[in-house]
Structure 1
Amino acid sequence: MEGARRGRPRPRNLSDERSSSESGFGNYARVNSGGEQNESEGDELRVNDLMHRFKPTIPEDVTVNFMNKPTTESVAGAQSTSRPKGVISYSKPKNITSRGPSTEQVVAPKAPSSLTTRNDGRDGKKNHSNDSAGDETEKSCQHEFGSYCIWSMEHKEVMKDALVKRLKDQLFVARAYYPSIAKLQRQEKLSLELKQNIQEHERMLSEAISDADLPPFVGKKIQNMDHTIAKARSCTIDCNNVDKKLRQILDLTEDEAYFHMKQSAFLYHLVVQTMPKSFNCLSMRLTVEYFKNSLEDIEQLHAYKLNNPIFQHYVLISRNILAASVTINSTVMNAEETGHMVFHLVTDGQNFYAMKHWFARNSYKEATVHVLNFDDLNLFDSYNLGLRQLAPSEEFRVSISDIAQSSTLQMRTEYLSVFGHSHYLLPEIFKNLKKVVVLDDDVVVQQDLSSLWNLDLEGKVNGAVRFCGVRLGQLKTYMGGYNYNGDSCAWMSGMNIVDLESWREHNITGNYLGLLQKFQNGTEESWRASALPISLLLFQDLIYALDDTWVQSRLGHDYGVSADALQNAAALHYNGNMKPWLELGIPKYKSYWKKFLTQDERFMDECNVNP
């Protein structure tokens, strides 16, 4: 995907390189291709073009605001994860808080909905990134850095040093011209004028960091320098020297801008993939409280429900207490009847006791919440799963070529969520159940799900919303040479109805273990990355397509979802990096999540949990 830039070594030990198409010099090399121009005219055109390219110093769609710089090695290393051809990258497990053929039947939710054409960036609607100015730059940025680029544009701050940067730009150009002007005969006056302006600019910049530090007469100085540079450009000089100097300056500035953008993207992804300190506090306080004060075990009072298939069974796999509680609470609050609802919350040993105590302290109408410790299920010896850890749903950032655009930079970026490795053990964990509704913990339910539970899947295994923004044929590099229908749409986890009996008949778990051995090489990265091709291959003919109105996705990375789409969807899926419990979550979607958040909880107040 990325090649060497103009054959020169990169400064400051930046590890990865950009293609020439990302640099202003890629096109600059072709400016002098006209054979009828003489050398001096060509030199002048090149310099004028270079000066035009030179401003502004940093692209307008990049926000750079840093106080402390990590080392370039650490920043570069954080982005060094390789991926074939640059098309797809593993994002993160969804719960890290540290977080079909055309004949398929389409099923709509029971509740009436006016949502017939969704404004979610697909199906004829331009998404948020496509509407913005500088479309090519934004698409290439999103291809490399993902949702950070959208976030940075939405939170772009007014520059407080615009005049300082203007002075620096003028100073660079004046210094480039000065050696050549000083050598000219009968231009002593212009040479002296240029030298004085340079000294005055240097004096102002030595005392100024932001525009507020500049003297009140700075506007006059800028005008004087512009006038002097214009006179210097009108002189007949050796353009090669000026050209060389400006090339060096632009090259360094471009590299610095790219470094800061890469640094900013790294810090952004560090924030979205790190558990907030308050969440850690909450988990630890709940764990301590569990052993200090044993509450009545509600699960034992309703033990007869846990394995009884006549009840409605919902499964969540999560490490995030607040996220799981919001998903359960929203499902219960919008249900017509709650006494027949059983929620099975599968978590790891680190969060098990905190989860137990939380759901013992908080009730959800008449619904039963059953917390299971994945580490105590003793499934590792029976199934060779590689890494022995809980694996919730996985998210992937997929960048694919937009065939409607001719430029190689016209990439479209989508976010897919699929079952994690722990989902493939559901038939073994719940041996007595016939079907379950699987919910991700970044989902908010807004309608009664009884109609979803009562669906006849007609022999299919997984009822899911298809995502035709990505088709299997576009991911052929990652499908391992297996047979598949290239026109089949990808499908999304988030809210799925799973027929466990049909799952067992088709031996999905056994087929999964066979594919897992072929797609992973023993490393954690390959183990997680294998979730996408395995999920798409296993269910490609076994998906029962739900109507799009069941789930409105994209709420963790797309600012452009309409209010009507949000209100009319049966469930909201915050897939993407900007989760609603994070400070970086998209503000206008947070209210849909926060209204189901537990209120007046002592431990939340003590740990300052305020998502």
Structure 2
Amino acid sequence: MKGGGGWGGGGGGLGLGLKSQRRWRGLVIGVLGLVILSMLVPLAFLLGLHNGFRPAPPGYLPEQQTSASNGFGELDHDHVRNTWNESEGDQSSHVRELIRKLGPTLPKDVLRDFTNEAKNKTIGRGSVNDSQPKEGFPVPPRGSLQSPPSANNTKVGAVIEVPLYTKDVHDVGKLCEFKFGSYCLWRKEHREDMKDSMVKKLKDQLFVARAYYPSIAKLPRQDKLSRELKQNIQELERVLSESSTDGDLPPQIAKKLQMMEAAIAKAKSFIVDCNNVDKKLRQIYDMTEDEANFHMKQSAFLYQLAVQTMPKSLHCLSMRLTVEYFGSPLNDTELSLAQKYLDPTLHHYVIFSNNVLASSVVINSTVMHAKESRNQVFHVLTDGQNYFAMKLWFLRNTYKEATVQVLNIEHLKLESHIKATPLYLSLPEEFRVSFLNVDSPPMAPIRTEYISIFSHSHYLLPEIFQNLKKVVVLDDDVIVQQDLSALWSLNMEGKVNGAVQFCSLKLGQLKKYLGENSYDKKSCAWMSGLNVIDLDRWRELDLTETYRKLMHELAMHEGSSEAVALHASLLSFQDLIYALDGTWLLSGLGHDYGIDIQAISKAAVLHYNGNMKPWLELGIPKYRGYWKKYLNRGDQFLSQCNVNS
């Protein structure tokens, strides 16, 4: 038994010996593999294969360059960079200058790699530039660029995402306007001279010198040039620490700049290691690009905030009038004028507005050019917040023999309206539409048009004015330059809405929102601003119910409320628009700087559609004079609130 036990124990020892030998052989093979790899990696690096192992940034697909000599020149031909170069102006010009200065010292493979990566930063950056279009394919923003309107907004604005029929779009200069709207036009008109152009130039020189200094300091027998670069760097650092604008710079700064340029020119004459230069160049490029994008978006947001917020002076006017209304005993003349409000033989004008001053200018300009003001009745529909200010203003101010009625839309009692749902005031809807025509030539720029249409409140007109047969609807951002009495004798041939057609925008160009087969794609869009409404015909066709049904149906399928409003309003009047002569209404004074003065003088009504309203400081200066001359400058509240001072 013992012998058998010893044999069994010996067998177990042999098995352990074999396992240890196999483990030892595995370790030897692993060590040999590591040694071979440690020899191959340096060899591959020395042969220049390291460029192939460099990881591509997220979202980047490498492009094969047709010519390595293109270098940084490709950045100048990149469509997206062209767009921002035009819109950002001086903010990015020094980047291109720096690229030009550094270009000659960089080898071709570094230039090619940096060009690819720079393109990728614009195309695949992610959250920073998510809304920027890819090269050659301008894509609309994902949603509205404007913030939700506040209670004091003068207009409700929206950006309609129209599909762009792109071909090879080379001229993308209007992408700024496509993305930020009239802000880009306003900024171009109000561009100021840079007060820190020399400071920026000095900073660029400092960046270049810092990029070259480490490489020059390592060169043998170049101690003099190294000291010269270091002294110039320290001197510029001291100057820039004390200067933020050109006015802060010392008188001898031109000489210091020449010395720095001479030192950099000497440094560029030596063959140096490009790694540090490449690193510094990437830093300034990324920093400047991010800074320019940030400032562009910030200034565009502040512009939108300014145009959507009621100015302090107008808010002051409304508050002072409201306080005065409750503090002063006033003789209400509503009862004595009730008969005129309901008389269908008179000329009735309707204005939806929450702006005391704007509605006053509309009425004043209309009355001043009327051949006979006695038969004119103006109905101003406003909200509860501005109702008492409006009441007092139109009781204090007279407009020849015209009659003015102020209605609080929130207190109206309409039979068809659901009692549990409160009424609210909605002003004409404004849209900015950017698109390319299908038949446009390849070089055609993106077109941006501004249109305005009826809002929800407009579809209550037949119920609010049940005794009237016809009304003329005026937006509160118009002024009248001629007598409008001829509108009341129009034969509208069974149509409901007499409007000026806007044939720069065809309904077919809005097919993404209007569908495919429910309308005539060649028909023109129509504009609010000046509209002759046949209320009898409206009631006969029950267009209010048609509009409500469209809104309900479209709201179930479309996510954008702006798209629903545009769709429903345009299609509610399909085949029911009576085209007015184009001289009745001239639009664009709130966004277009290039309107002909002769066209302005011939138009019966001027429409300030767009963001740059005439009562705002952002309004287009050369058009504001037409609006200001109808202000009642003698009113004490205007002077107290510094309105248009």
TM-score of the superposed pair, with normalisation by structure 2:
0.75
Matched residue, 2:244:
209
Unaligned runs of 5+ in 1: 1-5, 10-18, 21-25, 66-75, 100-134
Query: Computing the radius of gyration over CA atoms, which structure comes out larger, 1 or 2?
Result: 2
Taking the aligned partners of 1:314 and 1:142, their CA distance within structure 2 comes to 35
Residues 386/439 of structure 1: CA separation in 2 closer, same or farther (3 Å cut): same
Taking the aligned partners of 1:582 and 1:513, their CA distance within structure 2 comes to 34
Residues 301-348 of structure 1 deviation map (CA, whole Å, 9 limit, x = unaligned): 222121221111110011000000100110010000111111111111
Which stretch shifts more, 460-469 or 295-304? Answer: 295-304
Structure 1 residue matching 2:482: 3-state secondary structure: coil
Which stretch shifts more, 333-342 or 224-233? Answer: 224-233
Structure 2 residue matching 1:463: 3-state secondary structure: strand
Taking the aligned partners of 1:490 and 1:87, their CA distance within structure 2 comes to 24
Unaligned runs of 5+ in 2: 1-54, 92-126, 132-138, 155-169
Matched residue, 1:164:
199
Determine if the alignment matches structure 1 residue 225 to structure 2 residue 260: yes
Give the Å deviation of 1:407: 6.7
Alignment RMSD, CA only?
3.5
Which stretch shifts more, 385-394 or 345-354? Answer: 385-394
Taking the aligned partners of 1:359 and 1:307, their CA distance within structure 2 comes to 19
Matched residue, 1:175:
210
Matched residue, 1:346:
381
Give the Å deviation of 1:138: 4.2
8 Å Cα contact 1:47-1:239 kept in structure 2: no
Residues 380/290 of structure 1: CA separation in 2 closer, same or farther (3 Å cut): farther
Determine if the alignment matches structure 1 residue 86 to structure 2 residue 120: no
Residues 396-441 of structure 1 deviation map (CA, whole Å, 9 limit, x = unaligned): 1111136646479x42221111111100110111111111100000
Taking the aligned partners of 1:95 and 1:367, their CA distance within structure 2 comes to 33
Matched residue, 1:261:
296
Q: Which amino acid aligns with 2:188?
A: M
Q: How does 1:1-150 map to 2 (within 5 A)?
A: 33-35=65-67, 42=69, 46=71, 59=85, 61-62=87-88, 85-86=140-141, 89=144, 97-99=152-154, 136=171, 138-150=173-185
Identical counterparts, % of pairs: 57
Higher relative contact order (CA 8 A, sep 6+): 1
Taking the aligned partners of 2:538 and 2:420, their CA distance within structure 1 comes to 18
8 Å Cα contact 1:91-1:396 kept in structure 2: no
Q: Which amino acid aligns with 2:229?
A: L
Matched residue, 1:411:
446
Matched residue, 1:371:
406
Residues 432-490 of structure 1 deviation map (CA, whole Å, 9 limit, x = unaligned): 11111000000000000011221111111111111122222222222256612222221
Which stretch shifts more, 395-404 or 498-507? Answer: 395-404
Residues 487-520 of structure 1 deviation map (CA, whole Å, 9 limit, x = unaligned): 2221110011111112122221111101111333
Taking the aligned partners of 1:610 and 1:590, their CA distance within structure 2 comes to 10
Matched residue, 1:530:
564
Taking the aligned partners of 1:193 and 1:155, their CA distance within structure 2 comes to 43
More helix by share: 2
Taking the aligned partners of 1:373 and 1:521, their CA distance within structure 2 comes to 31
Determine if the alignment matches structure 1 residue 309 to structure 2 residue 341: no
8 Å Cα contact 1:344-1:372 kept in structure 2: yes
8 Å Cα contact 2:150-2:309 kept in structure 1: no
Determine if the alignment matches structure 1 residue 565 to structure 2 residue 599: yes
Structure 2 residue matching 1:156: 3-state secondary structure: coil
Taking the aligned partners of 2:516 and 2:553, their CA distance within structure 1 comes to 11
Structure 2 residue matching 1:530: 3-state secondary structure: helix
Residues 64/174 of structure 1: CA separation in 2 closer, same or farther (3 Å cut): closer
Taking the aligned partners of 2:146 and 2:525, their CA distance within structure 1 comes to 17
Matched residue, 2:546:
511
Give the Å deviation of 1:273: 0.8
Give the Å deviation of 1:540: 2.8
Residues 47/323 of structure 1: CA separation in 2 closer, same or farther (3 Å cut): closer
Match of 2:514 among 472, 479, 499: 479
Residues 191/388 of structure 1: CA separation in 2 closer, same or farther (3 Å cut): farther
Residues 347-391 of structure 1 deviation map (CA, whole Å, 9 limit, x = unaligned): 111111111111111111111111111011134972599774211
Residues 428/51 of structure 1: CA separation in 2 closer, same or farther (3 Å cut): closer
Taking the aligned partners of 2:403 and 2:611, their CA distance within structure 1 comes to 31
Give the Å deviation of 1:227: 2.8
Taking the aligned partners of 2:554 and 2:248, their CA distance within structure 1 comes to 58
Taking the aligned partners of 1:195 and 1:34, their CA distance within structure 2 comes to 40
Matched residue, 1:548:
582
Determine if the alignment matches structure 1 residue 501 to structure 2 residue 536: yes
TM-score of the superposed pair, with normalisation by structure 1:
0.79
Give the Å deviation of 1:299: 3.3
Give the Å deviation of 1:280: 1.8
Give the Å deviation of 1:236: 2.6
Structure 2 residue matching 1:456: 3-state secondary structure: coil
Residues 384/171 of structure 1: CA separation in 2 closer, same or farther (3 Å cut): farther
Instruction: Provide the aligned length of Structure 1 versus Structure 2.
Output: 529
Taking the aligned partners of 2:71 and 2:336, their CA distance within structure 1 comes to 81
Match of 1:289 among 297, 313, 324: 324
